[in-house]
């Protein structure tokens, strides 16, 4: 009998040891899968009065045409000088005087600014001085001589010579008064326009 009890006790202890060694299994909980948030489309603000915004919203829409504004064209006049070249000028700015082929062009708002068909004349070099230099305007090289009064430094005559001294004229006045900056700028414009036309009518 004792032997049976021992065997039973051993069996019970062995069973408890086996049961204690088995891992405990916890129930598996299925977590819901989270979907990434989808950004909602932002509706572009429409500006019915904005042609650029309209073109962006509707790619097939044509941009409004911008009207082309033409510049006012100046009606130029010409004067022929004795050596066979023509000077082109704006008659709203210059006034033609004298007789062919020795015309003068006088600046309308400045009577001391006159274009003459000559390249200089006798000067009292105790009162005046001169310097000459070459300057290319367009495709023509001019020899320009600047005369000024020694006592004041004021410019009183500019002469322009080109084509191997075959053509020439000067900006001056008969009383050797100062030539203003505006006068010289207008003379340069006459030369630029005339040279671009090849000194032709």
* CA-to-CA separations, 104 to 77, 80, 127, 155, in angstroms, rounded: 13, 11, 26, 19
**CATH value at residue 129:** 3.40.1000
Is 108 inside any structural domain?
yes
- Going by C-beta distance under 8 Å and a sequence separation of 6 or more, which residues neighbour residue 72? none
Q: Which domain holds residue 102?
A: 77-196
User: Coil, strand, or helix at residue 9?
Assistant: helix
* pLDDT of 131 strictly over 70: yes
Residue 11 placed within a domain: no
> 125 with 145: CB under 8 angstroms?
no
Do residues 91 and 100 lie in contact, with contact meaning Cβ atoms separated by under 8 Å?
A: no
- Report which of residues 36 and 121 the model is more confident about: 121
Residue 137 within a domain: yes
Q: What is the pLDDT, as a whole number, of residue 26?
A: 45
pLDDT tens-digit series, residues 17-31: 445 545 444 444 455
pLDDT value, residue 18: 47
Q: Using CB atoms within 10 A of its CB, is residue 184 exposed (0-12), middle (13-18) or buried (19+)?
A: middle
Report the domain count for the chain.
1
The tens digit of pLDDT for each residue in 101-116 reads: 889 999 999 999 999 9
């Amino acid at each position: 009998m004792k032997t049976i009890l021992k065997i039973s006790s051993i069996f019970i202890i062995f069973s408890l040891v086996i049961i204690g060694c088995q891992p405990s299994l916890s129930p598996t909980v299925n977590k819901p899968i989270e979907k990434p948030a989808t950004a909602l489309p932002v509706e572009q603000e429409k500006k019915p009065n904005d042609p650029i915004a309209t073109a962006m919203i509707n790619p097939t829409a044509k941009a409004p045409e911008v009207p082309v504004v033409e510049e006012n064209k100046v009606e130029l006049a010409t004067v022929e000088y004795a050596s066979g070249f023509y000077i082109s000028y704006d008659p709203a700015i210059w006034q033609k005087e004298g007789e062919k082929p020795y015309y003068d062009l006088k600046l309308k708002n400045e009577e001391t600014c006159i274009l003459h068909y000559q390249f200089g004349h006798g000067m009292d070099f105790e009162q005046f001085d001169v310097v000459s230099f070459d300057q290319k305007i367009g495709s023509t090289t001019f020899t320009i001589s600047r005369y000024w009064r020694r006592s004041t430094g004021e410019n009183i005559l500019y002469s322009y010579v080109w084509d191997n001294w075959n053509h020439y004229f000067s900006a001056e006045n008969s009383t050797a008064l100062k030539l203003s900056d505006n006068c010289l700028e207008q003379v340069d414009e006459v030369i630029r326009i005339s040279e671009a036309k090849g000194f032709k009518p």
